[in-house]
Amino acid sequence: MIAFDPATASFRGPSASLDHLISALSTDDELSAVLAAHASGIAADPTMDGIRGALTAPLFRVGITVSGPGAQQHHDLLVGANGVGVRRSPLKDGLAELTAYPIGTLPGGMTRLVRFLPGTAPTPEQGPIRVPQEQLVRLTDPDAATRVAAWSGLDPLIGDVLGPAADDSWQIVEARSSWTSLDEEPGEDLVVQIRRAEHHLLIEEENGSASLRPVTSLRAWEEFIRVLPEHDEVGAPR
């Protein structure tokens, strides 16, 4: 059963049921009919108008996938022409939530989603680390055992340059944005980076080879937020 919290403008319920509700809210059907069909027992609330406005007229979207040794989570965010943002995120036990947020909180919200942490700055001698490109791909595999095996091959290569990590935590973050440009052409951007305990690394690919560049946590955060399009890049919703 889907529940709604007006204080946080959030729907919560089973993932499949919530996705059906999101699809229905993205249409022009009457709100009362949508709720009756997909969220029975929930009364219409003024905050739902903002959610529907964003879903029906999105300016841009951002998909964030966070993969680590124990779990993989995918978050979908969008910002509507009405200035309202909407985020769909997984919860525990097969549940998910759809929540609204003010557009100005998007960078901070993205930072919290990936649990961005301060890190140790690299020294000038700690330059790019050549790694097998296929191992990086395996870090994002849906299967946890595949991700762990890939990391066991990469971690020693990183350790040879950066030294031992403070702990055994790691994650790879993929952030992909999409929008329609002012000339009505599709636009997109992609940022992929790795955190190894207190170390932040940017992925660089060229001519079929891959490297991990150690950077400060500030540089990593700036690159992560760079996936958001500038206001003069985004055209009206189509």
Shared-domain flag, residues 51 and 139:
no
Whether the per-residue pLDDT at 55 is higher than 80: the answer is yes
Contact 212, 202 (CB under 8 A): yes
Which residues are within 8 A (CB) of 65 and not within 5 positions of it... i.e. 6 or more apart?
A: 72, 73, 74, 75, 140, 173, 174
Point out the domain boundary residue: 113, 140, 160: 113
Q: Which of 79, 113, 147 represents a domain boundary (last residue)?
A: 113
pLDDT digits (tens, 9 = 90+) for 131-181: 999 999 999 999 999 999 999 999 999 999 999 999 999 999 999 999 988
Average pLDDT over every residue of 41-47 = 91
C-alpha dihedral (119, 207, 63, 72), degrees to nearest 10? -60
Whether residue 122 is contained in a domain is answered as no
On the question of pLDDT at 126 being above 80, the answer is yes
Q: Which of 52-56, 67-71, 155-159, 180-184 has the lowest mean pLDDT?
A: 180-184
Residues 74 and 153 in one domain: no
90 with 175, same domain?
Answer: no
DSSP category for residue 120: P
User: Does 43 share its domain with 96?
Assistant: yes
Q: Are residues 106 and 145 in the same domain?
A: no
The total domain count for the chain is 2
Using 50, 70 and 90 to split pLDDT, how confident is the model at 238? low
231 pLDDT band, cuts 50/70/90, is confident
Q: Are residues 108 and 137 in the same domain?
A: no
> Residue 160 falls within a domain, yes or no?
yes
pTM, full prediction = 0.92
Q: Does some domain include residue 63? A: yes
By DSSP bridging, strand 58-67 and strand 170-180 are: antiparallel
- How does the average pLDDT of the chain come out, rounded? 93
What pLDDT does 167 receive? 95
